[in-house]
Amino acid sequence: MKNIIKPVKGTRDFYPEEMSIRTWLYDKVRHASEVYGYQEYEAPLLETIDLYAAKSGEELVKEQSFVFPDRGGELITLRPELTPSLTRMVAQRQHQLVFPLRWWSFGPFWRYERPQKGRAREFFQWNIDLIGVANPEADAELVAIITTFFRLVGLSPDQVTILVNDRRLIDGELKNIGITDDKRPDVFRLIDRRSKMQPSVWEAYAIDMGLNIQQFQDLISILDNTDLWKKSPELEIFFEALEALNASPFVRFDANIVRGLDYYTGIVFEAQDLIGEVRRAILGGGRYDNLLADVGGKPLPGVGFAMGDVVISLILEKTGLLPKETGKTPAPLLITVFDQEHLIHSLALAADLRQKGLKVATYPQPDRLSKQFKYADRMGYNIVVILGPDEINAGKVTIKYLQTGEQTEIDLDNSANLIQEMLELNTPS
């Protein structure tokens, strides 16, 4: 027996069961996006590495990107994130687009990371952005979209939270304790890693970076100050807007949230789960007011976030919120085949019902009716149609609803309307 070739490390096979969950998640993402008026878009799966080199940070470019030369020698990468592609697209048609711009997308991404539970090398990601508005109410709208999504999938503030900070606020506080401009990006990365390192290791990392003991102690005081947000006029407006948007129960301030990517310039936020022993980031985002100019466009303010499908799926599975019935057929109706002679009649009936708007499958070959009924039950069909010689001669079809065992005979000519009525009456909502 030959060995079965395994999938590439860090990728996933989506059998119908898994695919139905992914589709369900996509539908929730679509609803949360479109209820706020956002338009769906897509960008290339391949980009030049130059697009990310100056915008996303060295770690993403040098350690996490799948990079290869094309036949012309240009370095190409499988996209590790979408915001640089978005800003490139906006810059290309900046004079044609209508602002403010509200766009969203859900597609595949790749990062060269160590595969583990909650982290894959290939994943699907929801990206949503508002471009052309600089006020804190725009930031609040993006966070409100997150809370809308959480409510749609059944998550509560006891299970997930959204932590918010303002990088401008922290930048000012770092300046006050003597952190020079050239060191500030490194200190932002230090802050971002606080929750991922042991306290002693994190302190040693800070000292090695060049912070003295007083600066380190002052930094701890800044990061542990839960009232620090009151120094930020933008955050005061932001939290007031969240109240109006009915999003406040999910949100709180945390000075440790700075986000690792270099292009964030203002309010930043990160959603985390509260049900695991170790908190995991579900999504992250924030304000990026300089990125459009970095890719050649005219300066425009922007705010957005991204959510991968892996962690949120694990959380929804743990909380019992994923759909229970998965991998079932999308067609509620199966037409049986009596024998080879009457197969053509089953095909013709299926075609007629499809033309009248029904989703229909035909059993692909003659077989015992008991076997066809068993197949229909396992695949999740609601109704089975029997079309044998007796029915054909009488101009009838026999309909059986599998969940109740109810069976009835109806006129062939009016079968589409009667079947539709039966589906509406008996299909679970």
Residues 226-239 have pLDDT tens digits of 999 999 999 999 99
Which of 107-116, 142-151, 201-210 ranks highest by mean pLDDT?
142-151
The pLDDT tens digits of the residues spanning 141-175 come to 999 999 999 999 999 999 999 999 999 999 999 99
Average pLDDT over residues 29-54: 92
d(CA 323, CA 328): 11
Greater confidence (368 vs 298) lies with 368
Band the pLDDT of 427: cuts 50, 70, 90.
Answer: low
pLDDT at 150: 98
Say if residue 58's pLDDT is above 70. Answer: no
Q: Where in the chain is the domain with CATH 3.30.930.10?
A: 16-318
User: Nearest 5°: phi and psi at 99?
Assistant: -110, 150
Longest dimension (CA), the chain: 95
Average pLDDT over residues 67-88: 89
pTM recorded for the entire structure: 0.88
Report the CATH fold assignment for 16-318.
BirA Bifunctional Protein; domain 2 (3.30.930)
CB contact set of 299 (below 8 Å; sequence gap of 6+): 289, 290, 292, 293
Say if residue 426's pLDDT is above 70. Answer: no
pLDDT at 347: 94
Average pLDDT over residues 392-414: 89
The least confident of 109-113, 228-232, 276-280, 351-355 is 276-280
Q: The domain 333-424 belongs to what CATH superfamily?
A: Anticodon-binding domain (3.40.50.800)
Q: Work out the number of other CB atoms within 10 angstroms of the CB of residue 229.
A: 20
Per-chain mean pLDDT for the chain:
90
The pLDDT tens digits of the residues spanning 65-76 come to 888 889 988 989
Q: Where in the chain is the domain with CATH 3.40.50.800?
A: 333-424
pLDDT at 417: 86
Band the pLDDT of 429: cuts 50, 70, 90.
Answer: very low
pLDDT at 84: 85
Say if residue 428's pLDDT is above 60. Answer: no
Which of 52-56, 110-114, 161-165, 274-278 ranks highest by mean pLDDT?
161-165
d(CA 344, CA 350): 10
Say if residue 290's pLDDT is above 90. Answer: no
Work out the angle between the directed axes of helices 167-176 and 213-223 (0-180°, nearest 10).
150
CA triple 268-273-277, angle to 5 deg: 125
pLDDT at 1: 64
Say if residue 220's pLDDT is above 90. Answer: yes
Q: What is the DSSP letter of 196?
A: G
